[in-house]
Chain A
């Protein structure tokens, strides 16, 4: 980073509390208004198109695609994740505003899937990012994705989807893992 220091503020995020006066209604609203950042990482992003358009119509669940991570609630890891992409994914995730959720599609984020011996596809996503919902399959069909989202809504509604909190609480461990495989960490350290 060096000279770029002045362009990025570099301080550790504060711990966030969960709850408050309107906790119930907040959770209810969050569950019914999931904005998904349009970021396709692997082959699964092709499955998201039918999910969100007329055939399966995810919008009836209150979901919609947004173009910028700042406004999004949900990050979908749609398939295998290379080292190079992982770096971007971490950045996107950190630019999203809490509360935020991660949904991982397919086998690859779980254990590498068919890319178990690839020199550049990671094996386990949850070493690097907190995943709220895993949807298995290679790739999962839109029906499965919708089911996954339904599950996510349930989790949010009942206040159990707290990956964003875990990430902040265990940030040091996540960072360690991330930096282990990303050799040249050309990113601001803590920044959102």
Chain B
């Protein structure tokens, strides 16, 4: 038990580092795509350290103070509920804690906590960003739920282990290929989850000053920063387990998550931004339609 916790802790540290590195890589790639040199790939580590070691910070109240912890623990919890390598005694984290339904609700906890803290700051931009984020969530959850339910019904299980096991036996057993429409729906909703362009109206630095965390500074921000990084990694891992057949060892996990990471990155750098109602309606039409195709298939075949 304690060994398991220790391993989970180490995995978490690794996850945060990996998330920060991916952030640096994305900055680098974006810069190269814009014909610049860009910062080093370690830039996020430097930023994190700088924020962490700032001299002063301000707080607006209790919820404001606690919110970064919510964010970090929510992100870390989500990360720890997803097995990195299914079946491995060390790298399957705490996936005994709950199944996919638990995971999907646990994902919200961190965001909700942070939203509350941000809202306490009293800055109007924070709740504006939060409401945008929540509305956008209502948009992308629909296709995501559709595809998740497709998988649950198809595999007759709601656990990630079960879903991964159902994909074993060759690349063509991946749900990416057995349920291509559902996978497409989920991957489109991943764009919304990552708040990447064209669904970036949540943070919108140019108009609402990065939205929810607008009043956060210094150490608070560093916590949020790491929470966000590990949350992103958790999402990549989740998608890996859902659609790319999980990972049999750590290397595969890196490769597959990196592949998933590239998808929103490339979309981000070539698209303009949608307004909120446009993105909600987009999510509720095309990806939903795709998800429904597979859901109908499952429903009729069953």
Contacts and interface: CB of A to CB of B under 8 A. Distances in A.
24 contacts: A22-B53, A26-B50, A26-B53, A29-B46, A30-B50, A33-B43, A33-B46, A53-B36, A54-B35, A59-B31, A59-B36, A60-B37, A60-B39, A61-B39, A62-B40, A62-B43, A68-B209, A68-B210, A68-B214, A70-B215, A71-B210, A71-B217, A97-B56, A97-B218
B43 A98 contact: no
A182 interface: no
A32 B46 contact: yes
Contacts of B50: 26, 29-30, 32-33, 73
A83 interface: no
B54 A98 contact: yes
A70 B35 CA distance: 30
**Chain A interface size range:** 20 to 34
Interface in B47-70: 47, 49-51, 53-58
Contact of A67 (B27, B51, B58, B214): B214
A-B CB proximity, top 3 nearest: A67-B209, A57-B36, A70-B217
Contacts of A54: 34-36
A30 B51 CA distance: 9
Given A57-B36, A98-B56, A67 B205 contact: yes
A16 interface: yes
A35 B209 CA distance: 14
Contacts of A62: 39-40, 43, 46-47
A67 B123 CA distance: 13
B31 A66 contact: no
A32 B44 CA distance: 11
Contacts of B27: 59
B221 A57 contact: no
B58 A70 contact: yes
A57 B37 contact: yes
A67 B221 CA distance: 14
A53 B47 CA distance: 20
Residue of A29, A30, A66, A73 most packed against chain B (CB within 10 A): A29
A65 B47 CA distance: 13
Residue of A60, A68, A98 most packed against chain B (CB within 10 A): A68
Contact of A192 (B58, B205, B216): B58
A67 B40 CA distance: 22
Interface in B22-48: 27, 31, 34-40, 43, 46-47
A127 B205 CA distance: 32
A29 B210 contact: no
B269 to A, nearest CB: 13
A192 B56 contact: yes
Interface in B247-300: none
Given A54-B34, A70-B217, A16 B55 contact: yes
A40 interface: no
Contacts of B205: 65-67
A99 interface: yes
Given A30-B50, A32-B46, A70-B215, A97 B38 contact: no
B205 to A, nearest CB: 5
Contacts of B31: 57, 59-60
Contacts of A26: 49-50, 53
A97 B58 contact: yes
Interface string B156-172: 00000000000000000
A192 B56 CA distance: 9
A85 to B, nearest CB: 19
B38 A60 contact: yes
Interface string B81-98: 000000000000000000
Given A33-B46, A70-B217, A98 B55 contact: yes
Interface in B216-245: 216-218, 221
A161 to B, nearest CB: 13
Contacts of A99: 54-55
